[in-house]
Amino acid sequence: VEAGSLCLALLLPVVAGLEFSYHHSEQLETFLKEVHQQHPSITALRSIGRSVAGRDLWVLVVGRFPTQHTIGIPEFKYIANMHGDETVGRELLLHLIDFLVTNDQSDPVVTRLINSTRIHIMPSMNPDGFEATTVHDCYYSEGRFNKNGEDLNRNFPDVFNSNNVTIQPETQAVINWIQNETFVLSANLHGGALVASYTFDNGNPATGFLQGYSRSRDDDVFIHLARTYSSNHASMYKGNECGNKPVFPYGITNGYAWYQLKGGMQDYNYIWGQCFEITLELSCCKYPPASQLQAFWNDNKAALIEYIKQVHLGVKGQVLDRHGQPIPNVIVEAKGREHICPYRTNRHGEYYLLLLPGSYVLNATAPGSGSILKTLLVPNSPENFSALKYDFVFPEVSTLARDASCPIKPLYQDFESISAAVKPTLHFLALMTVLYTVFK
């Protein structure tokens, strides 16, 4: 019933009359303020910062508890238009907002999404670049960059190489936003190709880049996330819709396998934000005519909804002491999937781990208090709009360090040097084992 209702709702035209046209900054701001005014109980609107030219970076939050984080409710985000001349995502997110708020309490899937998820939507990360794009070109314009001429998707700290760039106001605003929320899943919307691209965008031998693919510990989850979007898109899954681009099997690609990128936003999210993010290239033409926007919405709306549901993959819960009080900064990870910057509980003692269905051993480690291991069978939880819930309880807890965050530096350089230092020792041990066997 729910799936059928969503399909019916997806086929209906947008009521409320949001036009399929390009909305400039003033129009975008007016629309967001009107939505919040008309739906104050399920929306919150705020600016997370300002662009170089002083334009607000607006975020509209949709959820049953929109104004603040609620324990057990995962945080999700969409960001569009970080390249100012890649414009389709900007308009898709305005129509997604309209679709969500107008279908709450009438469409069961949308209603359950709003009940179970706090959805953050930023239609434009680079409003200056959008306003600077006067020629609507399919391939390139100066509007790609911010007002300082910087590419915002090369402007984040990088986990593999030192990124000697000046952090821009738009980038810093997003970094602060990521650090202040408990984001679990995200996507950033681009244009110029039709493919879902996933971590890592950069790499070194530790991630296998010598084989042309930079693999994270959660590669299976990222492939699932990318295929979820491409398979629910009208044509992305075909993989060959843009004649001037490579063929992408199933409409997905590892970022590094496509082209190497330093300082990208999705890698930053995964390493330092504890948030899985993919990059969605949604149009062969970066800035297509406005007359095509309705077709883009029809092609993407089912995928946009289905992707949000994936925030409920895996396991979530709290780490508590014997008095039921939350413990922050506890490392909680699945064995075999340890992150180079360990994933830790937030100030509410919460953890969220995106995992595909299967059996996993979770390891909760509180410094000075030991570890607790728990084997869990993870179901296909997005269909239930809730990850499997499991709370860890530590009988005794030492005082934890206040600042347990990872340093903002190329962490994989250290990992690579440690690995290189260990290899001669391993080779020596292997040789001794062989000699011992022979002589014996």
Q: Kindly provide the residue ranges of all beta strands, DSSP E only, lying in 98-222, ordered along the sequence.
A: 118-122, 183-190, 193-198
What six digits make up the tokens of 348? 């509410």
What six digits make up the tokens of 71? 């324990």
> Which pairs with CB-CB distance under 8 Å and at least 24 residues apart come from 418-425?
419/206
H-run or E-run covering 364 = strand 358-366
Closest by alpha carbon to 129, among 171, 87, 88?
A: 87
What six digits make up the tokens of 180? 């202040």
Active-site residue (options: 29, 150, 281, 350): 281
What six digits make up the tokens of 136? 């609507």
Helix (H, G, I), strand (E, B) or coil at 187: strand
**What letter represents residue 320's amino acid?**
L
Contact 172, 268 (CB under 8 A): no
User: Residue 344 — φ and ψ, nearest 5°?
Assistant: -120, 160
Contact 330, 366 (CB under 8 A): yes
Any catalytic annotation for residue 281?
Answer: yes
CA angle, 334 then 405 then 364, to 5°: 30
Closest by alpha carbon to 338, among 361, 313, 372?
A: 361
CA 256, CA 199: separation in Å to the nearest integer? 8
What six digits make up the tokens of 251? 């409409």
Q: Which residues pair with 399 in a beta bridge?
A: none
Token pair 């709370």: residue? 391
Q: Which residues contact 341 (CB under 8 A, 6 or more apart)?
A: 159, 271, 272, 406, 411
Catalytic residues: 281
